[in-house]
């Protein structure tokens, strides 16, 4: 056989690399066969794939290692071999499945940066290899082995997800659909499934309407009753769920929409429960995607859902309730956004479906409330029809407000005192559910009647279910009807004592009830937040704190997140405390410190124990953070608190030392608060703390930790001012590294820029050292963020990026002010003005950016003075933008603008 030179070369390369494989792999890859001329030769991978699933750990590990090496050494052959394995009907099903899975993992990853790498890698892969792989995948769709088909479906979708946006593999959809009617049922099912995965994987804008039409036609036909095969119908129904996002145009066409809706509604009546469930899932998705198109069908849908809620199996009934919850979500959004005023300017009007359905909907939901499961409150993962119905009832109350009250009150009155716990619990849950939405005027008379009853039920009802729901309902009462928002208080001097007593007593109940009681106390305290110098809780403060601490020590406190709830409530009680109880808050400091100290005692913990320790340390550090912030906010208490500063800092450092590679987010947050309270004295902790600060900045994996640490760098800069200089080299180097990393979550980058500003402001002209680097990073980010193209999320991100950049500029300008080195900034001024003009011209900045931007204009003028006079005068910002800000309704913007005007006035008058 005469091979073409290119193939010869490939073979030579391949054998060349084979020589470098370890003995095991060369044994494994011993047999090779060509798939065809001009093709890449696949390797035999069956054995290594079997080994990779071996129960023998050592064998498995070896196999995994071999696969890894193979992948690294020759990716095209590796992938071609896997696809060959998947397509080969002679191979065992488990190796075919695993081959598909490994192939899939070579195309996609969870982490954004890894995903990006894999996409680039695939795109640059040899095109012969790619077409061989695709051919194998498509061929597998007709395999009689269902696992092989299903795996191939998913891999095809992944490849499509990479290639379609790049206008590659244009023939895919056509070839999938070309002969769908002639296919045997199992291949048809696989094709529909592939279309479903494909729609899930790619965004609608990369598929032509023409192709969308073909997909929808095939899918809807597959769903219709004329399709005899249940698996095909199910695959089609599931595929429609994913394809709905592609059907904008089709839903705008009355005939097509009617057809789709008819088929979906018919499918909800299918004898096959999985099809009914999938069809309701479609309805739920339609309710949010095509809310505005639902009016003609809503009556029919109500009938269908009502029947399902009443009679159908739970998974179906849950979807039917979810449909109405989803409609509530839509209407709440619309009503919130437009405040009930749809005079022309809203995209989507409110159709008041819930209001219209109310007389039938509410009884349907109330009925579900009585279908509770025993012990549902103890089961974290529980979700049943009573829970779904109650949740939906709460959403209905938020949607319609007062109108729900008369429909629910008779149900409450009828059931609240019945001997059956289900009735009492259902009535209480109904009451708790409608507390958000209706007006206080409507609810307060009810609450005034119910409060005493509830307090009594919380302690005396024999059913734990009823007590749980009662405590939750009390929490809702305090959350929505207690505090400065309400004109006529529901809590008086007289019943406050009783409420506190009952809640504290209830904290000794079972963990789930105690947790709800803590929650109620949380909102009780919160309602007194703005009370002025004296809080009605003051007389009980000591007792409340003592009870909460007792709860945290309960043996069963880890259940129902009781311990977390107790600390969170303690935090809120401290936050909302007044000067009167400051001495008591101060007494709490050594208590919590001792608790934290105790967590540090354990030695040689198992990983499970270590996790628990970290969690408890988090709660304690969180509590200390709240206390530090509270006591640090007034000069007198801060002064007394400072006696503990050294010890607290010592504990935080030990918390850090407990772990090898990560820093504790809560401890970091607490240190930020401590630095703010301590001021320049914080310098004494820096030598020891610095390495953890650096560690936090390097934590790309847990980006929240990194973000929190960046914030703390800001706190420390402000606290230490020029004393931070010795640490600046390290911090700035790390921050610049973070900025250039594509592994770090993007949300951390704007705060890093702000942090540049904090540092520059703290160290003044010493920042000169970093000026060039910082300015160049700022400049490229500024260029990127001038124009926004994308969805709301991207707009929001871009604005936060702009804000960070602008805060950096502000800090740098103010830091250099009155320094002889001011002139170093002059070369950057044109670009900064250009950036300001640029974002002004885009007209899409939010108020925060506007305020910061106009401030930067002022800072530039203030610091550079006459050096920048003519530059400023030439900028659009100094005229139109400034004027716009000067006439802003937002006082903060206006004030910044007035400052800028002053500074500019000075700069150009000199």
User: 688 to 717, contacts with other proteins by CB under 8 A?
Assistant: 704, 708, 711, 714-715
> Smallest distance from the beta carbon of 57 to other proteins, in angstroms?
29
Residues facing 719 on adjacent strands: none
**Nearest CA to 424 among 384, 382, 457?**
457
202 touches other proteins (CB under 8 A) = no
Burial class (CB in 10 A: 0-12, 13-18, 19+), 611: exposed
Supply the minimum distance, in Å, between the C-beta of residue 238 and other proteins: 6
Q: Answer yes or no whether residue 516 interacts with other proteins by CB under 8 A.
A: yes
In whole angstroms, the minimum distance from the beta carbon of 885 to other proteins comes to 15
Q: Which of 324, 431, 472, 540 binds other proteins (CB under 8 A)?
A: 472
Least separation, in Å, of the C-beta of 734 and other proteins? 19
Between residues 322 and 837, which has the closer beta carbon with respect to other proteins?
322
Q: Is 196 in the site for other proteins (CB under 8 A)?
A: yes
What lies within 8 Å, CB to CB, of 36 at 6+ separation is: none
* Least Å from the CB of residue 410 to other proteins: 24
Cα 325 from chain centre = 21
Q: Is 862 in the site for other proteins (CB under 8 A)?
A: yes
Among 480, 523, 641, 835, binds other proteins (CB under 8 A): 523
| Contact status: 638 vs other proteins (CB under 8 A) | no
Written as six digits, the tokens of 204 are 């609608």
Q: Which is nearer to other proteins, 52 or 481 (CB)?
A: 481
Which one of residues 855, 860, 875, 904 is an interface residue with other proteins (CB under 8 A)? Answer: 855
In whole angstroms, what separates CA 826 from the centre of its chain?
42
Give every CB contact of residue 225 below 8 A, 6+ residues apart in sequence: 266
CA separation for the pair 83, 900 (Å, rounded): 65
Between the CA atoms of 877, 879, 881 and 882, what dihedral angle is there, to the nearest 10 degrees? 110
Between residue 649 and residue 688, which ones bind other proteins under the rule CB under 8 A?
666, 669, 672-673, 676
Identify the residue among 331, 425, 479, 595 touching other proteins (CB under 8 A).
479
Complex with other proteins: residue 340 or 381, whichever CB lies closer:
381
- Residues between 263 and 292 that touch other proteins (CB under 8 A): 281
Residue 909 in contact with other proteins, rule: CB under 8 A = yes
Contact 162, 107 (CB under 8 A): yes
H-helix segments, 54-125: 57-73, 75-87, 93-105, 112-123
In 164-253, alpha helices (H): 172-177, 185-201, 209-223, 230-243, 248-252
CA 489 to chain centroid: 36
Judged by CB under 8 A, the chain residues 821 through 850 that form the site for other proteins are none
Question: Which residue from 53, 818, 823, 870 is in contact with other proteins, where contact means CB under 8 A?
Answer: 818
Binding mask 93-132 for other proteins (x = CB under 8 A): ----------------------------------------
Build a one-symbol-per-residue string for 567-596: x at contacts with other proteins by CB under 8 A, - elsewhere.
xx--xx------------------------
Binding to other proteins (CB under 8 A) within 320-349 occurs at: 322, 325
Could you tell me the two tokens for 820? 């002889």
Tokens standing for residue 439: 């007006």
Three-point CA angle 598, 603, 605, nearest 5°: 105
Q: Restricting to residues 366-395, name those near other proteins by CB under 8 A.
A: 377, 381-383, 387-388, 390-391
The helix (run of H) or strand (run of E) holding residue 464 is helix 464-481
Query: How far apart, in Å, are the Cα atoms of 419 and each of 367, 411, 415, 423, 470?
Result: 17, 15, 9, 8, 16
The answer to whether 532 and 572 are in contact (CB under 8 A) is no
Neighbours of 381 (CB within 10 A): 4
Taking the complex as a whole, how short is the minimal distance between the CB of residue 169 and other proteins, in angstroms?
A: 21
Q: What is the DSSP string of 507-528?
A: TTS-HHHHHHHHHHHHHHHHHT
Single out the segment in contact with other proteins by CB under 8 A; choices: 560-568, 591-599, 765-773, 868-876.
560-568
425 is an interface residue for other proteins by CB under 8 A: no
- Which has the closest alpha carbon to 720: 688, 691, 752, 762? 762
Output 49 or 361, the one with its CB closest to other proteins: 361
Q: Binders of other proteins: how many residues, by CB under 8 A?
A: 73
**Nearer to other proteins (CB atom), residue 77 or residue 903:** 903
* Interatomic CA distance for residues 666 and 716, integer angstroms: 16
Give the separation between CA 618 and CA 659, rounded to whole angstroms: 13
Is residue 222 at the binding interface for other proteins, with CB under 8 A as the rule? no
Binding segment toward other proteins, per CB under 8 A, in 115-123, 752-760, 783-791, 834-842: 752-760
Kindly state whether residue 718 participates in binding other proteins, applying the rule CB under 8 A.
yes
Classified as helix, coil or strand, 245 is: helix
Choose the binding region for other proteins from 4-12, 214-222, 450-458, 471-479 (rule: CB under 8 A). 471-479
Give CA–CA dist 773/437, Å, rounded. Answer: 53
d(CA 648, CA 627): 12
Q: What does the alpha-carbon distance between residue 127 and residue 877 come to, in Å, rounded to a whole number? A: 51
Shortest gap between Cβ of 318 and other proteins (angstroms)?
5
Near other proteins by CB under 8 A: residue from 67, 190, 903, 904: 903
Task: For residue 617, state whether it binds other proteins (rule: CB under 8 A).
Answer: no
Q: How many CB atoms lie within 10 A of CB 831?
A: 15
- Kindly indicate which of the ranges 67-75, 367-375, 765-773, 901-909 contains the residues binding other proteins, using the contact rule CB under 8 A: 901-909
* Cα–Cα distance for residue pair 652/667, rounded to 1 Å: 6
Which residues 176-195 are close enough to bind other proteins by CB under 8 A?
193
Q: Which of 161, 438, 475, 750 binds other proteins (CB under 8 A)?
A: 475
Q: Which of 483, 527, 614, 811 binds other proteins (CB under 8 A)?
A: 811
**From the CB of 619, what's the least distance to other proteins, in Å?**
9
Q: Is 241 in the site for other proteins (CB under 8 A)?
A: yes
d(CA 520, CA 371): 25
Q: Give the nearer residue to other proteins in terms of CB position, either 108 or 715.
A: 715
Spatial distance between the Cα atoms of 433 and 631, rounded to a whole number of angstroms: 37
For residue 51, the minimal CB distance to other proteins (Å) is 29
761 binds other proteins (CB under 8 A): yes
Tokens of 250: 């089709």
Judged by DSSP in three states, 319 sits in helix
836, 858, 869, 871: which one contacts other proteins (CB under 8 A)? Answer: 858
* Tokens read off for 506: 């209830």
Query: By rule CB under 8 A, what string of x and - marks binding of each residue 304-323 to other proteins?
Result: --------------xx--x-
Task: In angstroms, give the least distance from the CB of 77 to other proteins.
Answer: 31
Q: Which residue, 281 or 330, has its beta carbon nearer to other proteins? A: 281
Cβ count within 10 A of residue 215: 24
Stretch that binds other proteins, among 208-216, 220-228, 420-428, 853-861 (CB under 8 A): 853-861
Task: Work out how close the CB of 714 gets to other proteins at its nearest, in angstroms, rounded to a whole number.
Answer: 6
Helix (H) or strand (E) holding 43: strand 42-43
Strand pairing report for 32-33 and 42-43:
antiparallel
Pick the binder of other proteins from 626, 648, 853, 885 (CB under 8 A). Answer: 626
Q: Does residue 757 interact with other proteins by CB under 8 A?
A: yes
Q: Does the footprint of other proteins cover residue 615 (CB under 8 A)?
A: no
Q: What are phi and psi of 43, to 5 degrees?
A: -105, 155
Question: Looking only at residues 483 through 502 of this chain, which bind other proteins when binding is defined by CB under 8 A?
Answer: none
If binding is defined by CB under 8 A, does position 83 make contact with other proteins? no
d(CA 73, CA 611): 39
């Amino acid at each position: 056989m005469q091979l073409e030179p290119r193939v010869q070369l490939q073979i030579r390369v391949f054998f060349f690399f084979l020589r470098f494989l370890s003995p095991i792999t060369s044994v494994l890859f011993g047999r090779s066969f060509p798939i065809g001329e001009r093709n890449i030769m696949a390797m035999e991978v069956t054995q290594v794939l079997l080994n990779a699933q071996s129960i023998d750990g050592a064998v498995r590990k070896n196999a995994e290692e071999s696969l890894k090496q193979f992948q690294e050494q020759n990716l095209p052959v590796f992938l071609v071999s896997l696809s060959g394995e998947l397509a080969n009907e002679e191979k065992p099903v488990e190796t075919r499945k695993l081959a598909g899975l490994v192939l899939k993992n070579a195309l996609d990853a969870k982490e954004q940066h890894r995903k990006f790498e894999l996409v680039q890698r695939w795109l640059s892969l040899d095109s012969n290899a790619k077409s061989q792989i695709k051919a194998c995948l498509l061929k597998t769709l007709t395999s009689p082995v269902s696992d092989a088909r299903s795996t191939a479906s998913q891999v095809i979708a992944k490849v499509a997800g990479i290639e379609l946006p790049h206008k590659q593999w244009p023939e895919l959809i056509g070839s999938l659909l070309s002969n769908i009617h002639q296919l045997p049922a199992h291949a048809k099912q696989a094709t529909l499934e592939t279309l479903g995965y494909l729609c899930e994987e790619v965004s609608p804008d990369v598929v032509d309407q023409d192709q969308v039409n073909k997909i929808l036609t095939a899918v809807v036909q597959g769903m219709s009753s004329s399709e005899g095969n249940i698996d095909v119908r199910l695959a089609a129904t599931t595929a429609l769920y994913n394809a709905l996002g592609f059907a904008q145009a089709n839903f705008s066409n009355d005939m097509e929409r009617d057809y789709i809706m008819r088929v979906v509604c018919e499918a909800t009546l299918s004898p096959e429960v999985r099809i009914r469930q999938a069809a309701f899932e479609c309805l739920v998705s339609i309710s949010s995607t095509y809310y505005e198109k639902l009016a003609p069908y809503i009556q029919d849908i109500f009938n269908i859902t009502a029947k399902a809620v009443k009679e159908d199996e739970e998974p179906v009934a849950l979807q039917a309730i979810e449909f109405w919850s989803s409609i509530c979500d839509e209407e709440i959004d619309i009503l919130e956004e437009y405040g009930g005023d749809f005079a022309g300017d809203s995209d989507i009007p409110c159709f008041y479906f819930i209001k219209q359905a109310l007389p039938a909907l509410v009884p349907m939901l109330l009925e579900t409330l009585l279908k509770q499961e025993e012990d549902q409150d103890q089961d974290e993962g529980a979700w049943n029809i009573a829970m779904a119905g109650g949740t939906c009832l709460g959403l209905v109350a938020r949607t319609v407000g007062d109108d729900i009250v008369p429909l629910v009150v008779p149900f409450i009155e009828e059931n609240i005192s019945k001997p059956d716990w289900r009735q009492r619990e259902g009535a209480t849950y109904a009451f708790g559910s409608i507390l958000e939405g209706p007006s206080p005027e409507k609810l307060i008379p009810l609450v005034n009647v119910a409060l005493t009853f509830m307090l009594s039920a919380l302690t005396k009802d024999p059913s734990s279910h009823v007590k749980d729901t009662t405590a939750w309902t009390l929490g809702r009462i305090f959350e929505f009807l207690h505090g400065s928002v309400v004109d006529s208080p529901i809590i008086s001097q007289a019943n406050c004592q009783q409420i506190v007593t009952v809640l504290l007593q209830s904290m000794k109940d079972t963990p789930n009830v105690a947790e709800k009681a803590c929650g109620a106390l949380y909102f009780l305290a919160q309602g007194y937040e703005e009370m002025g110098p004296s809080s009605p809780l003051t007389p009980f403060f000591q007792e409340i704190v003592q009870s909460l601490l007792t709860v945290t020590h309960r043996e069963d406190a880890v259940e129902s997140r009781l311990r977390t709830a107790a600390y969170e409530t303690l935090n809120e009680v401290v936050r909302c405390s007044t000067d009167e109880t400051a001495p008591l808050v101060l007494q709490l400091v050594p208590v919590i410190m001792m608790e934290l100290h105790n967590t540090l005692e354990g030695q040689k913990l198992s990983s499970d124990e270590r996790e628990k320790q970290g969690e408890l340390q988090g709660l304690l550090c969180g509590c200390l953070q709240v206390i530090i912030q509270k006591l640090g906010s007034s000069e007198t208490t801060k002064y007394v608190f400072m006696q503990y500063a050294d010890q607290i800092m010592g504990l935080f450092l030990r918390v850090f030392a407990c772990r090898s590679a990560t820093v504790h987010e809560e401890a970091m947050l607490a240190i930020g608060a401590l630095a703010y309270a301590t001021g320049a004295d914080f310098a004494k902790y820096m030598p020891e703390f610095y390495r953890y600060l650096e560690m936090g900045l390097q934590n790309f994996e847990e980006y929240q930790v990194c973000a929190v640490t960046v914030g703390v760098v800001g706190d420390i800069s402000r606290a230490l001012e020029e004393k931070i200089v010795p640490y600046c080299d390290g911090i700035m180097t790390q921050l610049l590294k973070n900025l250039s990393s594509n592994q770090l979550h993007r949300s951390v980058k704007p705060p890093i820029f702000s942090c540049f500003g904090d540092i520059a402001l703290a160290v003044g002209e010493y920042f000169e050292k970093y000026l060039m680097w910082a300015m160049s990073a700022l400049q490229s980010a500024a260029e990127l963020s001038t124009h926004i193209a994308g969805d709301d999320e991207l707009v929001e991100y871009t604005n936060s990026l702009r804000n960070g950049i602008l805060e950096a500029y502000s800090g740098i300008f103010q830091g250099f002010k009155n320094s002889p080195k001011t002139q170093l900034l002059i070369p950057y001024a044109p670009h900064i003005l250009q950036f300001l003009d640029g974002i002004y011209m885009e007209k899409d900045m939010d108020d925060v950016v506007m305020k910061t931007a106009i401030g930067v204009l002022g800072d530039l003028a203030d610091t550079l003075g006459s050096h920048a006079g003519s530059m400023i005068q030439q900028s659009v910002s100094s005229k139109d933008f400034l004027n716009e800000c000067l006439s802003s309704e937002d006082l903060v913007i206006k004030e910044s603008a007035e400052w800028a005007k002053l500074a500019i006035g000075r700069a150009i008058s000199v």
